[in-house]
Amino acid sequence: MHYIIGTRGSKLAIAQAEYVREKLQDAWPEDEFTIQTISTKGDRILDKPLQEIGGKGIFVQEIEQALLAGKIHIAVHSMKDMPVVPEPGLMFAPCMEREDSRDALILRTAASFEELPEGAVIGTGSIRRKAQLLRMRPDLKIVGIRGNVDTRIRKLFSEKLDGIVLAAAGLHRLGQGDKITQYLSYEQMLPSPAQGVLGLEICEGSEEIKRLLLPLWDEESDRTAKAEREFLRLCGGDCHLPTAAVCERIKGGYRLRAMTGNADGSSLSFADVQGEWAEELAEIAIRQIFLTRQLQPQMTAQLSLQKDRKKGMVYLVGAGPGDPSLITVRGMQVLKQADCVIYDRLVSTDLLSCTSVECECICVGKSNRSHIMEQDKIQKLLIHKAGQHSCVVRLKGGDPFVFGRGGEEALALKDAGIPCCIVPGVTSAAAAPACAGIPVTHRGVAGGFRVVTAHGRENSLASIDFDSMAKGKETCIFLMGLSHLNEIVSGLLRAGMPGETKAAVVSMASTREQRICEGTLLNLAARAGRENLKSPAVIVVGDVVGLRKYLPVWEGETSFSQSTERKCRILLPVTDSGENALEQMLDQRGFYVEGVPVGEIVYENHIYTREEVIRPDWLVFTSRHGVRGFIKQLMASGLDLRDLSGVQIACVGEKTSDVLRESGLRADFIPSVANAATLFSELSADLSAGSLVWYIKGTETAHTEAEVDSLSKNIYWESKTVYANREVSGEKICAENYDTAVFTCASAASRLIKRISLIPDTWQKNGVYSIGPSCTDRLRELGFKKIWQADKPGYENLCKQICRDFNKP
């Protein structure tokens, strides 16, 4: 598909649109994205202040008309220039990652703001900046100045101004950050609401475009920008009043610093507030200002609307036992209508893909032994979100009223005066046994069943009436009891239940990880211990367990084996989505693979000049991330592939070369063996004396500049860092649950070792798998004894090695 991005014609606007285009092209390489420039009233009238010619909307009217007419699909703006409410039929997509939000000084002669002479002349067209400058230095003379960034910088010298104030974000995006004399701190000058944020405007109801933009969303930037723009809305939402706001993440919540004043900026009021939720800080800030001065009439009116805000409906929805297809029809209907979903760890994330693009999804991460958010905070969160959204879904595994604390949440909502509706779910108490081929009741075998939780306070065993269970004829079902299996079995035996009573543990019911351990009360705990079963698990005790040999096990949309043969379980530490291809290869060949994030790729920001990029004779890439990071920097610098016409390119192997081809470039040199050492050695031998080579790398690349330089004393090497492989923290991993592990880079090995208590004996016996020599060397350093290395680098070769060892086709 071909999509058109609309923007203003200034250099900055085009640079911003190109940045968005590049992000979209990376996310959707099969589609085509082009830029169309549109002239606006604000671009044409440069001799009057904004407040005299129409305020913020003068920069967007023509672009919005093109959007509504279907001439463009996405409009890119500076969010600080946007009206609070878009035109009818239009909406803002969630925000991308924010640039620097500070204001910056460019001074003609002085070295700092403090060194400006008395009566110095500063150029700015902003009431907000003027008011705050005069608050710091009443002696300054402020003159109006408009035009694009280059025009304003020219006027600094042609009109002999002492300085000008511009947004740091714009200078960075244009590659002119080196012209900044001084950044103004938030204590000196508060920025415009959402300064540094790109506003992506689209037509309402365009689901296709919403999904295109979803990979660009940065949750933290979106949350803080919305808080700042909410403050702007409460202040009247235009540039006729000096308004400023900046929201930052702090320990335990958020901090919002804000300012507003009268039309000429002669009277300013400030607020500095903190709270757990960014969204509610704007109203608190306005109320703080209200206590110190008489608000503008429109602010008071907005506050009245806030007081009368309607409370939304909260639905407590049961997600079922695990497989997403087992949610009820009503549960799915409510989920699709949700504005906000608050879900537990055990809920299948596939269900979240059924929500709308705008839906806010919050994981509160409850599991047996750990909580991202405690129960009282979850209840406060439900109440808080009900004040923001009309439809809030609390999505819980199984049924919300079966050991799900749904009753507590419903009572908390009732006390807060918030309407609540219960949508029952399929409880794992009955579903897990059914998925294992065990009916909880059967005529002549069990006339009923009893369900209890084994989870007590502080992870102890709950108080269970084992005596009545042992004497009864009903099937006994224990939820949340895997860690207490020995105590449960002992309790039943002490109470007189026969040792030969059939019993089973069903782990991860209805998912592709489902595993069943069957035995009797006498041997179940030992058997389950050898199987290293995972929670959630349901324990079933009673004669009905014996029926499973005659009955089918679960055969739903999730693909796990019905046979009792257990799949080989592989742990795969991953850095980015690239390893998904390896996971899919192994999964298709019958392995169970669990990818555990241990790192993320973050691309560095750097601006080049054309003179810089034509200097090297060669560019050397040793990873696909290096290629992508360098191309991003090239495009952000306002350059393109034509500027590399005189430069030759070397790649470490075919995979990196493929990514290079996706960018429109071809490798001039690929070594005989796909590893960095061979690349440097063979390329060095072919280079002419005096050649300049740029080594495009990440921050943690194994080969240092000194090592590379030592390969040839007649060749000049310069390292260019374009990305960082940052470690991702996470909870401890039970390595004993896996038969082996597969490593695709040395950093993944170093990071995984921090997340496991010790290297399991199983791994030392079976061996672990390495993609290449540097990864193998690191594994040996970390204490791994048996390491299987792929014959050649590449996921396909690594997958073949694993299949050979496990006799897979």
List residues bridging with 316 in a β-sheet.
Answer: 394, 422
Does the active-site annotation cover 129? yes
DSSP structural state of residue 758? S
Residue 37, burial from CB neighbour count under 10 angstroms (0-12, 13-18, 19+): middle
Closest CA to 105 of 47, 42, 171: 171
List residues bridging with 599 in a β-sheet.
Answer: 727
Q: How far is CA 165 from the centre of its chain?
A: 34
Q: How far is it, in rounded angstroms, from Cα 492 to Cα 504?
A: 14
Instruction: Choose the catalytic residue: 8, 21, 81, 130.
Output: 81
Closest CA to 734 of 594, 568, 605, 592: 594
Instruction: Choose the catalytic residue: 239, 247, 391, 568.
Output: 239
Instruction: Choose the catalytic residue: 21, 56, 102, 146.
Output: 146
Count of H-run helices and E-run strands, the chain: 28, 33
Instruction: Choose the catalytic residue: 102, 129, 502, 548.
Output: 129
Question: At CB < 8 A and 24+ separation, what contacts does 519-528 make?
Answer: 521/489, 521/492, 521/493, 521/497, 522/493, 524/485, 524/489, 525/485, 525/486, 525/489, 528/482, 528/485
Instruction: Choose the catalytic residue: 23, 102, 152, 394.
Output: 152
Give phi and psi for 723, each to the nearest 5. -155, 160
Q: How far is it, in rounded angstroms, from Cα 49 to Cα 55?
A: 9
**Residue 799: both structure tokens together:** 């997958």
55 — alpha (psi -120 to 50), left (phi > 0) or beta? left
Q: Are 548 and 436 in contact (CB under 8 A)?
A: yes
Does the active-site annotation cover 128? yes
DSSP character string of 797-809? HHHHHHHHHTT--
Residue 546, burial from CB neighbour count under 10 angstroms (0-12, 13-18, 19+): middle
Instruction: Choose the catalytic residue: 8, 23, 128, 515.
Output: 128
The position carrying tokens 């690191």 is 778
**Residue 17: both structure tokens together:** 């649109």
DSSP structural state of residue 736? G
Does the active-site annotation cover 152? yes
The CA–CA distances, whole Å, from 701 to 648, 694, 707, 777 equal 22, 14, 12, 14
Instruction: Choose the catalytic residue: 8, 21, 56, 80.
Output: 80
Q: How far is it, in rounded angstroms, from Cα 405 to Cα 477?
A: 19
Closest CA to 635 of 1, 8, 17: 17
CA atoms within 13 A on the CB side of 420: 23
The position carrying tokens 């991005």 is 5
Catalytically annotated residues:
80-81, 128-129, 146, 152, 239
